[in-house]
Each structure stands twice: as C-alpha cells, then as structure tokens.
Structure 1
Amino acid sequence: MGWNFGDILDAVGGAVPTEAPAFIHGDRVINWGQANQITNSLARGLIARGSKPGDKIAIYMRNRPEYLLAVAAGWKARLTHVNVNYRYTPQEVWYIFDNSDAQTVVYSSEFRDAITEIRPRLPNVKTWIEVSEGGDVAPFAENFDTLAAEGNGGPLDIARSGDDQFFIYTGGTTGMPKGVIWTHHDLREITLAPARMMGPVPETLEELAAATRAAGPGGRALPAPPLMHGTGLLTGMGAMLSGGCVITLEAPSFDPLELLRVIDRHKPQTLVLVGDSFAKPLLNTLNANPGAYDLSSVAVVVSSGVMWSLEVKQGLLEHMPGAMLNDAFSSSEALGMGASVMMKGVEAPTAKFMLGGRCKVFDENDQPVEPGSGVSGMIAIKGPNPLGYYKDDEKTARTFRVIDGERYSIPGDWCLVEADGTLTLLGRGSACINTAGEKVFPEEVEEALKTHPSVEDALVIGLPDEKWGQSVTGVVRLAEGASLDEDTLRAHVRQALAGYKTPKRIVATTASLRASNGKADYPTAKQVAETALA
C-alpha cells in the first residue's frame, strides 16, 4: 500500500512522550498528547460531515499551529491538502477553491470578509471551519476549537493508502496557479532521501514506532517563511512526521528581530529561510546587535527557491559559526535537483550546486549537456515525481516528459554544467530576456546589482524595445540612506557581466519586490519600471 502520512502520524504520535512539545507559537505550547487528540477529533469530525477519501481540504491562514493541525487531520481523514496564498485577492482565493474542487475550507477569522464575499460562488464547499481568536465565528462556519474537542480523540482505525494525494499549489512565473499532485508515498521517498544516505531507515510502521520510542522526541524546526508555500510547509511537515516540534512566528510578515528572540528563547536546531530576501535583513539585524542573541542551538539553516549569495552566507556564519547552511535547489514539481552546503571555512559560490543523483541536463534538442562544454541546458529530474498538474493536461505534458524511456520533471530551470560536474544556475526559462538575440537570465544580473552597497534588493525584467526586442531593465530597492546613481550601478554590473547583460535603465522603488514567501515579484517590478519610464 505504500507509506501514508496519516499512518506515520499515528505511529509517531503514539511513540513520542505525550508531554513533549509538538507546536510552539508565542506563549502557546501544544504538546504531542494534545496534538494527537486534536487531529484525531478533527479528522473524525470531517468524515462525519461528509468528507470522503480524495476530497480536498483547503487551508487559508498565516503561520500558526492550526495550519499543520488541519493538514494532519486531513491526512488522517484521507483528504487532499490544498494550500492557499493569504496574500491573494478574494477573486484569486476563489480561483484556488474552485480549481481545486475544495470540499472543506479551514480559514482564520482575519480572512472572514474575503470568505463571506466569495462563499456564494462556491457551492461545492460543504464545510467551513473558522479559527477564531475571540471564539466567535461566521454564521455559516464551525468553530475549529469546538470541532477539535469533539469525541474521545482516539485514533480513527481506518485503512489508508500510499496513493492518497497531496497538492502544492504553485504560482510559477506565468498564468494562474497550478496544483502539483504528489502521492504520499512518493513525497515521503523524496523527503527521506537525506536520511537514507546516513544509514538504515525504518521500513515498517512498527519499526518506525520502535525507533521513535527509542530516540525520543525529534528536533525543533523554525520555518520562518509561510507554511502555505512549499519551503515552509515541507520542512514543517518533516519536523511533525519525525515526532519533533514546529515553532512558528507570530508577526504577520517576516521580522528578523522576532526571529532572533524566538531562536534565543526556544532553541530550534533547524532554521528555515528564503535566500537573501530573509537572510540579508537577518544579517543586518545581527550586525547591529552583536552577541545579543544566543544562536548556538541552530545546527542547520535551510533555504530554497531564492538566490542565497556567498557574501550573506559568510556574514551569517560569523554569528553562527557551528551551523551548516543548506541551500536546496528544488521546486514544488521537482524536489532534489541540487544542493549547496556551506560551513565556516568551506565556501560555496553563489548559485553553484552539486547536481542531484536523479538529475540530468538536456539542451533544447533533448540531448545531454556535456560538462564543461559551455552549453546551457535545462535541468531534468527523474522519479519519484508528481503525477502532474491538477486539471491541466497541457502543462503536465510540457513539464513531465519522457526522454529515452525515462519520465522526467523539467520545470524550466536553465544552468551551465561545469567541468567538475557542478551546475551554475542561470534562471527560469520563462523569465529569460531576449535582447538582440542574446539570452539574459535575470537572476545573474540581479545578483550583480545586489553586490553594490547602495542596493538592498533588485529584480531585472525585459521591457519591449524597438531596437533590442527587449531591453534589460533593473528595479532596485536602495539601502537606507542611499540614493540612485544609475550610471554607477550600470558600471558596477558591467565589471562582472558581459555588456549585453548590463541594464539599459535602472529605476528605484520603495515597494517590496518580494512575495510573502521571499520569491521575486516580477509583475510588481514590471509595473514599477513601466510607470517610471513611461
């Protein structure tokens, strides 16, 4: 039948001491005994309200224990998780609910107005569950805490399958978000790969329970990015499925000071960031408060999805010299494409990764790229892979392709394969700028801009141009007290990159250039540039 996350939680939850913390959020602590009861009761309540195996449970809230408690209850009831970006407009949220065929929605009270607005157009949603700080909920919804307290909280004792599905909705760079379809068994196989490299892993639920009982509670993880995106969600799931503790931040957006206070207080071993967009403000705060916070508990810092520069990594290691920085090259539809590990005294250049064992690089004609050839290619990763995109056969066929009899996931990331077998990431093909016939990947220009001391953050886009086809255009957020000197910044980039990659124009903005998960917000950058250069 394969591994099922609900079965794993039953095994682990019964083996971890009941008093061990499972979730910490501010002053709230939910121990494993309570977490078991809550998730079992929720799962049983969902089934009693008509949920059937394969039905979709959409979760619409910021980071808090109830997010993962709802995920776990969905697993136990054999429901399919659907993540919802809380920064979306009500119309975009409606699209996710409608596209995913959500049958149950769990949301926090701060989004009650959006839910009230779109609910009449969602006849297929049968159960609305509200997480409320004050206890009052919308008249059409049920109270999360009330539902979680129903019954005796015991295990459901139902048969589950490794083929049960798990959705990760991903925005990508073009079009509407798509639901990436993973099975529980395949997703577990991928996320367990690092553990398999270190030694034997349990092969049965009985072995898993015995190993958990012998080892005691798992480690503490602090995912700083939103749980509604893959990086935060998968790391939070990993801690939960290993009997550990997930620590979440209370602020509605990333606050490096809050992060440092929480690390100092709750001592996580794993810290999850999103590249420079989180690590750079964290480093600036550490530099401004040297020695003020105890970071000695942090053994691993994980990042994925956004460029994490060498200079910022070096700075962080000055403050946490015992930590290992794990820069994972992955996407929701292609986990494990590459990794870059850096420790004090062992440097890893920006955007250079060790190619994953399941990966190959193919050129535009599906021919393998020879290491050291200087030919750019697209990274492809063989299974286990997702089944495809939910209700999008065309995109599934484009991304999941068979080459020489092997099915690969090819999400569109371009790279160079160096002579030593490492890869240098160039960027996502859909964001590539074609200027006078030359390909320019925004990420490498952005990194060059960000190395200038006056630049806090930068994005690069292509704007229509009669002469060049597209003109390389930079949008920067300036460091505090800095002013825009376009010629100086252009000259700075020109020192590092070929002339055709140098931005024709650079504009400054005070707007955020990042989504809540730290990833590039290219539509906003394009709007800023078009307005400034009109």
Structure 2
Amino acid sequence: MNLHFANIFEAMSDAIPESSCMVQGTRSVSWREFDDAASRLAAALFAAGVRPNDKVGVYLYNCPEWMVTFYATLKIRAVPVTINYRYIDQELGYLLDDCEASAVVYHSGFAERMEKVASTRRDRLRLLIQVDDGSGYSAVESHITYDSILRDFPRREREQRDPTDSVLIYTGGTTGLPKGVALQVGMTAGGMLMGPLAERALGLDRPPGLQFIDFALELHRRGEKRVACPVAPLMHAAGLTLGAIPALCTGGTIVFLPRPSFEPATLATSIGTHGITTMVIVGDAMARPLIHHLEEARAQGIHYDFSSLRVIVTSGVALTTDAQRGLFEFMPDVTILDQAGSTEGGLGHRRLTKSNYLLNPGFTTFPGVRVLRPDDTDVEPGTGERGLLACPTVAAGYYRDAKKTAEVFREIDGKKYVLAGDWATMEHDGTVVLIGRGSSVINTGGEKVFAEEVEGIVCTIPGVVDCLVVGTPDERFGQTVTAVVSVRDKGLTGEDIAAGVRQQLAGYKIPRRIVFVPEVPRSPTGKPDRAQAVRLAKEQLSGNQSASSQSRPQDLQSETRAGIRGARGSAA
C-alpha cells in the first residue's frame, strides 16, 4: 500500500468497519459509513466529469462531510481545495477562479452566495453539492443535495492511485492574498505520518516499521484508540494535518464540536463526554477564552473532567506564557505541542509541560531548518544574531503564481527552502527562537519593532483578552506603535497597558496609541487581520468611531502619557 490517504482510509474501513471514526453531537459515523459515503460522492463527482487533477472546493464548517469530501475527491485522484468559510462573494469568486474549481461542496447556509458566485462560472463549475446544515435554507434547484447523492448514486469501485496526487491548501493570507499551496499526497503523508510530530500530537509511539493498519489494530486491541478534536477549522492546515488525518490514519476517532462558533463550555464538556485525548487549537485566540470560561466555572463550583486529555496541539497564533500557565492550571498532566511553521513549510515544535514551560524553550527544528543572513550564510548559533528563517519544503510552490513562488520558494546550496519572511535567532543547542514576521515590523523613527513581541507582553496584562499591534502613520516618526486591544476588565486604561509593557520592553516599543475594540480582528483560523486592525485604529484615532467599535465610550482611544514619555526612551 503506497502512502496515499485514500488508500489508508480504505484499509481502515476494511479492517475495523463498525468502529466509530467521526462524532459530532449525538451523531456517530462508522468506518463503513465513512467509506460508503465517500464512494458514492466519488461516483457523483466522476459522473459530472470531474477527473484526476480537477479541483473540488470544500466550502464547509468542520463536520463529517468535510472529511467525506476530502476522501471522495482523493478516491478519484482529483484535488481537494480548502476554502475559508467566511469568504464573501468577491473573495470566494477569486479563490474559485484561482484554483480553477470544477465542483464545490458547500453548507446550505452559503446557498445564496454560492449561487450568485456560480452564476458567472457555469462553463467550468460542473457540480455544486449542498450539505444541509440546519440553517433553514432550501436547496437551490440547479444544485444537487448531498443526501440525494448518498441515496441515488452507487458506490464507485476502488482504483489505483499515485502518491503524486495532490491537495491544495490555501494560506490564510498573512503574506498577501490567499495562495494555494500544492502538496503531493505521498510526500505529505510520509512527512506527516512517518515522522514523530503527528505521533507526538496523538501521544503515541509507533514501533519502527509497523504499518498504520497493524498499529491501529494493536491500539484497538489494547483499548487505546486515540480521539482527536480539531477545534481549529479543518481549512487551517494544523486542524487537518495535526488533528483529523493522524487520528484517522491510526484508526482513531475525530470529534467535531456541534456548532461552527467556538464555545469554550461545549469544548470543556466534550473532552470528558467523548474521552478526547488530543485537541488542536489556535494559540491564544482559543486558549484565552477557554481559560476565562474555566475560571468562571470554577468560581461557580463547576469542574470538568479532563482526565482523558493527553496533548494540546497549538498552531497558527502564538501561545503566550500566560496562556500556557492558565492551561496547565486546569490541565496539569497534559503536554502542549506548540507547532511552528506555515502551510508552505514547517519549522518545528516545542514540547511544553508544567515542569518546563517557564524555561521558555526554543523550537526543536525539523531536519534542515536554517537561519540565514542576507547573503544566505548561516547565523552564528548562540550569538543572538537575527536572520531569516529558511524551512525545507515538499510544496511545489504557489498554484498559478510563478512570481510569488520565485520570491518565497528558493534553492539554496542545492536544496529547496521556503522563506516566508519570519525572523529568528538560533541557540547554541540548535533550537530556534522566533522573533516575528518581517511584514509586521513597525519602523518608528528608525527603530524596528516586532509586533508579535509587543503583543505577547500586552496579552499577559491582567484583564486583557486579545491584542494586535500595528503601525499607524505619524508625521514625526513615520509610524507609531499602536495597540488594538480587547479587554475583560472595563476599568483597564491605556496607561495601565503602557505601564505593563514598560516593565518588560524598551521604551520605543511601548504603544503610544491604544485603541479598545469589542473584538480584535482575526481570520477564522485565528490569524491576525492586521489590515482591519489598522483601519479600526485609524477610524478611532481620527474621531470617526464606528458603532461596532464602541466598547468603551470613555477612553476608546488613548495616546497615553506613559507611552509618549517612553516612546523615545530606553528600556525601563
């Protein structure tokens, strides 16, 4: 059996057909039902003219149908394409044009948008399949329903596949417009499943040479089946590659939360109800609301059962020390696997426990990771010298974007690397410490301020829920460090935040302007939406306060005296 996800899933469905592989709410899907649904959906796609290398968009919330669509598409050697479910008309149309989609499977709540976008693309979109999400929208007459496919189409026979088949994962747009990263299935499966990262994400230790199917059967025999909950959206690479796929490839179960929105109470309850062993979250964006809920629940005498939870995987957004402390307070026995990298290429991970997290260890890198000077030579480890992070990659590049591929994917010393603009230092032991992304650097009076560094400090201030730091125009200094902050403590002032930063960072890094908003703008995957943060800051700083931003009529904007005093100063 070659390393192809469809082949592995078929082998699991043959070996453990009645075992549950997916759960959402009260619904449970067995391996037999998973394979049956994927086989029928594959038949429908093929009957509509979808052929190998054609693109099938997955425009769904996290649910069993997401994985069925992924599996069915790979069964016929077509290419599954991840679609951000928050995209509206123009963005959705852009992505469908960019990937040249032949079919889309979407939730019924998106029906009106899907029909509008598809109406000008009939020549290419061969099939539109609507999945009922309980939103009350009736099926579009020209589209076919998912339920009718399961009822009316026969199972498609299995076929030979090639490990060069691919998956197209669209980035979250942190480096510009979303771009499709083409990943070969075989190389991705090999890197993901044969290496240690995915197994550590599941808290497993697979003996060398033992096939996945044999390992799965052994886990079932021992009663140690893994149960993974990708809280992060599956369109986010970490939710798919560190949660859903490793669980299925070891015969485990995926638990999907019942509703698309992140509900900390539902997650906390689900861990004990379903015996979740691994959950995948998006850094502080999910950890902080969860911790806040657990604190409130404890105050009310409510306690949750986390005894089954072994690993928390976090990726996409930084998990600050303050958030780590909060998670370990309620889940002292878990291991936090802090995964760093991007869709284009992985950096490595930090394995944090209650006993070592305060040491703030660097990231243990994947083989071949380098930190480079501008002349492509390596920085000297242990000197604190900053350089650009270069990660080995198996990605072919950006789909249909040769210019951006040439900028980001480079061959250095005969090997292929991705340089996404992340700055880092390398320690004596070879671990890497991330500093920030070049695109988020603020130039204030000639001083360079890494936004992520300031954000990490602001988020440790009691009462702060979330923060993004951006540069806003300044006549004197070019840009001014500006914090866009959401708070739990309505009494918190801009002076309080500036004072908190002053205790740990140099004066020029202290936010001179602080804008309070009800919610810090982020993408569905939790990644920062800095462009929207800048717009919110400019609106409020100019006095044009939008109704949606008026969380604190007093002190909505705060160009703090403390910040002004320290902005040009040295470290406090």
Q: What is the rounded CA distance, in whole Å, between the counterparts of 1:450 and 1:210 in structure 2?
A: 45
Aligned equivalent of 1:149, options 148, 151, 155: 151
Aligned equivalent of 2:230, options 217, 223, 227: 223
Query: How far is the alpha carbon of 1:377 from its aligned partner?
Result: 1.0
Aligned equivalent of 2:339, options 316, 320, 328: 328
Secondary structure of 1:357 counterpart? coil
Is the 8 Å Cα contact of residues 272 and 301 (structure 1) preserved in structure 2? Answer: yes
Q: What is the rounded CA distance, in whole Å, between the counterparts of 1:115 and 1:152 in structure 2?
A: 27
Q: What is the rounded CA distance, in whole Å, between the counterparts of 2:199 and 2:170 in structure 1?
A: 28
Aligned to 1:288: 296
Report Cα offsets for 1:67-115 as digits up to 9, x if no partner: 1111111111111111111111111011111110000100010000101
Is the 8 Å Cα contact of residues 45 and 150 (structure 1) preserved in structure 2? Answer: no
Aligned to 1:167: 168
Query: How far is the alpha carbon of 1:283 from its aligned partner?
Result: 1.0
**Aligned partner letter, 1:186:** M
Query: How far is the alpha carbon of 1:317 from its aligned partner?
Result: 1.6
Task: Indicate whether 1:262 and 2:263 are aligned.
Answer: no
Report Cα offsets for 1:231-256 as digits up to 9, x if no partner: 21222122223221111112231110
Seen in structure 2, the aligned counterparts of structure 1 residues 237 and 209 have a Cα distance that, compared at 3 Å, is closer
**Aligned partner letter, 2:23:** I
Matches within 5 A, 1:25-44: 25-44=24-43
Is the 8 Å Cα contact of residues 380 and 409 (structure 1) preserved in structure 2? Answer: yes
Is the 8 Å Cα contact of residues 459 and 465 (structure 2) preserved in structure 1? Answer: yes
Query: How far is the alpha carbon of 1:151 from its aligned partner?
Result: 4.8
Seen in structure 2, the aligned counterparts of structure 1 residues 340 and 272 have a Cα distance that, compared at 3 Å, is same
Q: What is the rounded CA distance, in whole Å, between the counterparts of 1:509 and 1:394 in structure 2?
A: 37
Aligned to 1:398: 407
Aligned to 1:489: 497
Is the 8 Å Cα contact of residues 213 and 251 (structure 2) preserved in structure 1? Answer: no
Secondary structure of 2:158 counterpart? coil
Q: Which runs of 5+ in 1 are unaligned?
A: none
**Aligned partner letter, 2:139:** V
Query: How far is the alpha carbon of 1:28 from its aligned partner?
Result: 0.8
Please provide the CA RMSD for this pair. 2.0
Q: Which runs of 5+ in 2 are unaligned?
A: 543-572
Higher RCO, 1 vs 2 (CA within 8 Å, ≥6 residues apart): 1
Aligned to 2:421: 412
Aligned equivalent of 2:216, options 197, 212, 219: 212
Aligned to 1:124: 124
**Aligned partner letter, 2:147:** D
Count of matched residue positions in the alignment of Structure 1 and Structure 2: 526
Report Cα offsets for 1:7-45 as digits up to 9, x if no partner: 1211222112x2211111111111111111111111122
Query: How far is the alpha carbon of 1:202 from its aligned partner?
Result: 4.8
Matches within 5 A, 1:48-447: 48-122=47-121, 123-132=123-132, 133=134, 136-151=138-153, 153=155, 156-192=157-193, 193-194=195-196, 198=205, 200-202=207-209, 207-216=211-220, 218-234=225-241, 235-290=243-298, 292-335=303-346, 337-349=347-359, 352-383=362-393, 385-447=394-456
Q: What is the rounded CA distance, in whole Å, between the counterparts of 1:196 and 1:477 in structure 2?
A: 36
Is the 8 Å Cα contact of residues 288 and 323 (structure 2) preserved in structure 1? Answer: yes
**Aligned partner letter, 1:404:** D
Query: How far is the alpha carbon of 1:382 from its aligned partner?
Result: 1.8
**Aligned partner letter, 2:407:** R
Is the 8 Å Cα contact of residues 131 and 145 (structure 2) preserved in structure 1? Answer: yes
Is the 8 Å Cα contact of residues 253 and 516 (structure 1) preserved in structure 2? Answer: no
**Aligned partner letter, 2:164:** D
Aligned to 2:559: none
Q: What is the rounded CA distance, in whole Å, between the counterparts of 2:359 and 2:263 in structure 1?
A: 27
Is the 8 Å Cα contact of residues 351 and 425 (structure 1) preserved in structure 2? Answer: no
**Aligned partner letter, 1:179:** G
Q: What is the rounded CA distance, in whole Å, between the counterparts of 1:196 and 1:304 in structure 2?
A: 16
Q: What is the rounded CA distance, in whole Å, between the counterparts of 1:168 and 1:219 in structure 2?
A: 25
